[in-house]
Chains A and B, each alone.
Chain A
Amino acid sequence: MAAPPPPSPDPQFVLRGTQSAVHALHFHSGAQGQGCPLLFSGSQNGLVHIWSLQTRRVLTTLDNHGGQCVTWLQTLPQGHQLLSQGQDLRLCLWDLTEGRNAVVDFVHLESMGFCRGSTLAMGQQRWTLAVPGKGTDEVQILEMPSKTSVCTLKPEADAKPGMPMCLELWQADSSSRPLLLVGYEDGSVALWDISQRKVCSRVACHTEPVMSLDFDSQKTRGVSGSAEKALAVWSLDEQQALQVCRTHEITNPGIADVKIRPDHRILATAGWDHRIRVFHWRTMKPLAVLAFHSAAIHCVAFANDGLLAAGSKDQRISVWSLYTQT
Chain B
Amino acid sequence: MEPAAVAAAVRLAVQEAVRTLRSSEDGGTVLSALGRLQRFLGGTDAPALPDEQQEFARLHLATVLRCLVSRLSPAWLELLPAGQLEELWASFFLKGPADQAFLVLMESIEATEGPSFRLMKVAELLARFLGAGRLTAVLEGQCRQPQEPAFPLFQETLLARLVGLPDLLGNQLQRENLTIFLPQNYFPLLAKETARALGTVVDSLRGGSDCSVSFVSQVLGKACVQRRHKEVLGVLVPQLTVLTEGSCLWQRVCWRLLEQVPDRATEAVLTGLVEAVPGPEVLSRLLGNLVVKNKKAQFVMTRKLLFLQYRHKTQELRSLLGYLALDSQRRPMLVQVLKELLETWGSSSAIRHTPLEQQCYVSKAVLLGLGLLDEVELRASREELLASLMAGVSCRLDSSLPAARRLGMVVAEVASARIQPEGPPLKFQYQDDELSRELLALATPQPVGDSPSRTSLQAASAPAETPEKGALGDGAPQTQPQGSDSEPDSDDEFVPYDMSGDKELKSSKAPTYVRDCLEALSACEDWERWEAALRALEALVLRSPAATREVSVELTRALLHLEERTSVVGFDGLRQRALVAVTVTDPAPVAEYLTSQFYTLNYSLRQRMDILDVLTLAAQELSRPGRLRKAPQPSSPGPPSWPDNAPAPAWRAVVEERIRGKTRRFSRGSARSIPAGDPNSFSAVAGYFFFPLIQRFDRPLVTFDLLGDDHLVLGRLAHTLGALMYLAVNTGAAVAMGKALLEFVWALRFHSDAYVRQGLLTAVSAVLLSMPAQRLLEDLPDELLEVRSWLADVAEQDPDEDCRALAVKALLLLQKLSDKLLPLTAP
Contacts and interface: CB of A to CB of B under 8 A. Distances in A.
Contacts of B487: 282
Contacts of B499: 5, 8, 286, 288-289
A289 B492 CA distance: 18
A99 interface: no
A283 B479 contact: yes
Contacts of B496: 5, 285-288
Given A274-B505, A326-B490, A9 B497 contact: yes
A265 B491 contact: yes
A219 B482 CA distance: 9
Contacts of B482: 221, 235, 245
B637 interface: no
Interface string B495-510: 1111101111100000
Contacts of A4: 498
A80 interface: no
B485 interface: yes
A291 interface: yes
Interface in A278-299: 280, 282-289, 291
B528 to A, nearest CB: 13
Which 8 residue pairs across A and B have the least CB separation, nearest first? A288-B497, A273-B505, A289-B502, A5-B498, A289-B499, A282-B483, A287-B496, A252-B505
Contact of B479 (A218, A246, A274, A289): A246
Given A5-B495, A283-B476, A283-B479, 14 more contacts: A4-B498, A6-B495, A251-B502, A251-B505, A280-B491, A282-B479, A283-B483, A283-B491, A284-B479, A285-B494, A286-B496, A289-B499, A289-B501, A323-B494
Contacts of B494: 265-266, 280, 285, 287, 323
A284 B476 CA distance: 10
Contacts of A275: 502
A7 interface: yes
Nearest to B501: A291
A253 to B, nearest CB: 9
Nearest to B497: A288
B491 A282 contact: yes
7 contacts: A5-B496, A6-B497, A251-B503, A265-B491, A265-B494, A285-B496, A291-B501
A297 to B, nearest CB: 12
A232 B37 CA distance: 102
Q: Interface size class for chain A? A: 20 to 34
A205 B532 CA distance: 33
A219 B485 contact: yes
Nearest to A254: B505
Contacts of B485: 218-219
A8 B497 contact: yes
Interface in A36-74: none
Contact of B497 (A235, A246, A287): A287
Nearest to A265: B491
A55 B482 CA distance: 43
Nearest to B499: A289
B477 to A, nearest CB: 11
Interface of B: 476, 479, 482-483, 485, 487, 490-492, 494-499, 501-505
B503 to A, nearest CB: 7
Contacts of B483: 219, 282-283
Nearest to B484: A219
A218 B484 CA distance: 12
Contacts of B479: 246, 282-284
Nearest to B491: A265
Contacts of A251: 502-505
A246 B503 CA distance: 23
A260 B504 CA distance: 25
Interface in A67-95: none
A181 B475 CA distance: 28
Nearest to B498: A5
Nearest to A296: B505
Interface string A241-260: 00001100001100000000
Nearest to A7: B498
A82 B399 CA distance: 75
A282 B496 CA distance: 14
A8 B476 CA distance: 24
Contacts of A266: 494
A265 B203 CA distance: 83
A128 B803 CA distance: 82
A84 to B, nearest CB: 31
Contacts of A283: 476, 479, 483, 491-492
Nearest to B490: A326
Q: Which of B482, B487, B494: most chain A CB closer than 10 A?
A: B494
Contacts of A274: 505
A8 B498 contact: yes
B504 A7 contact: no
Nearest to B507: A273
Q: Which of B476, B479, B499: most chain A CB closer than 10 A?
A: B499
Contacts of B501: 8, 289, 291
A280 B496 CA distance: 9
A275 B502 CA distance: 9
B505 A6 contact: no
Contacts of B492: 283
A310 to B, nearest CB: 15
Contacts of A284: 479
Contacts of A7: 497-498
A242 B496 CA distance: 30
Contacts of A6: 495, 497-498
A155 B354 CA distance: 67
Interface in A176-234: 218-219, 221
Contacts of A252: 504-505
A5 B501 CA distance: 12
A283 B487 CA distance: 12
Contacts of A8: 497-499, 501
Contacts of A218: 485
Contacts of A282: 479, 483, 487, 491
A136 to B, nearest CB: 31
Contacts of B502: 251, 275, 289, 291
B330 to A, nearest CB: 55
A101 B323 CA distance: 94
A93 B476 CA distance: 46
A285 B497 CA distance: 11
Interface string A290-318: 01000000000000000000000000000
Contacts of A235: 482
A9 B502 CA distance: 14
Nearest to A235: B482
A168 B466 CA distance: 44
A113 B502 CA distance: 31
A243 to B, nearest CB: 11
Nearest to B475: A246
A93 B664 CA distance: 100
Contacts of B498: 4-8
A218 B479 CA distance: 17
A261 to B, nearest CB: 11
A237 to B, nearest CB: 11
Contacts of B491: 265, 280, 282-283
A19 B491 CA distance: 38
Q: Which of B479, B487, B491: most chain A CB closer than 10 A?
A: B491
B505 A5 contact: no
Contacts of A221: 482
A62 B128 CA distance: 116
A287 B492 CA distance: 11
A75 to B, nearest CB: 28
B480 to A, nearest CB: 9
Given A245-B482, A326-B490, A5 B503 contact: no
A323 B495 CA distance: 9
A252 B506 CA distance: 10
B487 to A, nearest CB: 7
A284 to B, nearest CB: 8
Nearest to B479: A283
